[in-house]
Structures are given as C-alpha cells and as structure tokens.
Homo-oligomer: A and B are copies of this chain.
Amino acid sequence: MPDAPKDFSRLCVHTITTRPWSIEEAVGRYSKAGIRGITVWRQALEGRDASAAGRMIRDSGLSVVSLCRGGFFPSPTAKGRDEAVGENKRCIDQAAALGAPLIVLVCGAVPGQALEESRKQIRDGIAAVLDHASAAGVRLAIEPLHPMYADSRSAVNTMRQAREMRSLLGSPWLGVAVDLYHVWWDEDLEQEIAACGRDGSLFAFHICDWKTPTTDLLNDRGLMGEGCIPVRKIRGWVEAAGFNGFNEVEIFSTSRWATDQGAYLSEIQKAYLNHS
C-alpha cells in the first residue's frame, strides 16, 4: 500500500467534477487551491478558443492532463461511422490547440447492435484516426467502461478488452485509461494494470468511489472514501506498473453539483489526501 499523497502536485480535477463552474472559474479556483492538473471536458470549451483556453490554463500554473472525450465510434450506418471519425479528428485538433497531450476515448455502443460488431467498429474507428493523432502529437486512451454502460456507451468493458484492442492496433499513440469506477470489481485488475505497465500503455488514472447504495447509473459517483473502492491499494498497483502521471478526480454527481463548489473542492482535496 503506498503512502498517502503528501501534496496536490499530482492531483488533477476534471472540469466536469465541478460542472457548475465555467472553465475560467474552475482554472482560477483549482490554481488557487494548489491543484496542478486539469482535465478539460469539451463542453467546458464551448464558445471558447481552445488555444486561448490552453494559454489561460498554463498561465495559471496548471497542466492540461487530457481532453474528455473522444470516441463513440459505432453506428449502424457507414455515414454515422464516418461522421464519428470526423468528429474524433476535430477532437484531436482541439486537443492539439488546447495543448492536451491526451484524449480519453469513451468508445461507444449502439443499443441492440451486437457487442462484437460495435467492438469491430471501434477498432476501425480508432485505426482511422491514429495517424491524425500522431501527426498532431496527441495520444489516445481507451477507457474501458463499466459493464452497466455496455448497452449504449461502450462495448469495451474490461481492462483486458482495452489492452487487447490496443495491442492489436499496435501504436505507441494508443493506450489505456484506468478509471476506478469502471474496473474496480475486476478480478484481473492488478495483473491487467501490470500488463499495461509492461507495454507502456498505461496513459491515465481516474479516481472516485462507488457508493452503496448508488441511486443513479450515471451521476451518483462518490468522493474517494465514500464507497467501497480500495483507491489507495489500486494506486499502488498503478504506480508499481510505472505510472507517474496525475491522479485525476472525475466525479459525476447530481447531488454534489447542487452544493457550493468551493466547499466541495476543499472536500475533494481532503478526500484526496486521506483516501487516495
């Protein structure tokens, strides 16, 4: 088990975690709180120039850790799949302008379409944008999503699937994002993290907690320590695999979004030190 974090030098917060804040407010608040990393959700950039947003972030002493999110490759029609490839290329361009070294991919799924077909479309979609990504200097990370999202959000639901897809595509620009919410239950998690470490594909580490009871499938994530995920233990596995990037707090929570975000940010920082 690793030691508790000593400071916030490796803490990154996703803009969606404090969704009520504009990106300008989030950057100001995170920076003032001593947080050093930010992952930007695309909706936070709406109506902004990505290059200018990137400058503002760096001028505030923050690093852009990644841009969320690309993906959603599957579609029942060729036109839909082409559009998804186009949208992912625009996302790559936006990441490059922002100065984000990484895009997290929520790979996508089509309700009622066979999962193996969606996985094939995901592979094809990623393959179609990899050159664009490498030319832009932007890495892509496949984030396996919890099986409860296999119907409509991602047909990639385990670390093994993400790692195998990455191996198959064989590009150093493609890796895996480990989000504890999605994979904490997986018996093979430790060995899969180690395997990603061995092939240099462990690109991101997202933390939060799983509450009991969970009242909403999407927007009831918990703060570290509020649930059953052994966050620190798994951080140990991730670090043993050679990962030394940011610990990214990504929490969708309707109840938290309804509270004072400044107080919430303080709670996040406390939870980060005590439970991650």
Contact = CB atoms under 8 A, between A and B. Distances in A.
Name the prevailing secondary structure of the A interface residues: loop
A148 B148 contact: yes
A217 B211 CA distance: 12
B151 A148 contact: no
Given A185-B147, A185-B150, A217-B217, A228 B112 contact: yes
Interface in A144-196: 146-148, 150-152, 157-158, 161, 184-187
A72 interface: no
Contact of A151 (B114, B147, B152, B228): B228
Contact of A227 (B111, B186, B212): B111
A233 to B, nearest CB: 8
A45 interface: no
A212 B111 contact: yes
Contacts of A146: 147-148
Contacts of A150: 184-185, 228
Given A147-B146, A152-B212, A217-B214, A228 B111 contact: yes
A155 to B, nearest CB: 8
A230 interface: yes
A150 B180 CA distance: 13
Contacts of A157: 185, 187
A2 to B, nearest CB: 17
A115 interface: yes
Contacts of A112: 227-228
A210 interface: yes
Interface string A135-151: 00000000000111011
B230 A114 contact: yes
Given A111-B212, A148-B214, 5 more contacts: A114-B230, A115-B187, A147-B185, A150-B184, A150-B185
24 contacts: A111-B212, A111-B227, A111-B228, A112-B227, A114-B230, A115-B185, A115-B187, A116-B187, A146-B147, A146-B148, A147-B147, A147-B185, A148-B217, A150-B185, A150-B228, A151-B210, A151-B211, A151-B227, A151-B228, A152-B212, A152-B213, A158-B187, A161-B187, A213-B217
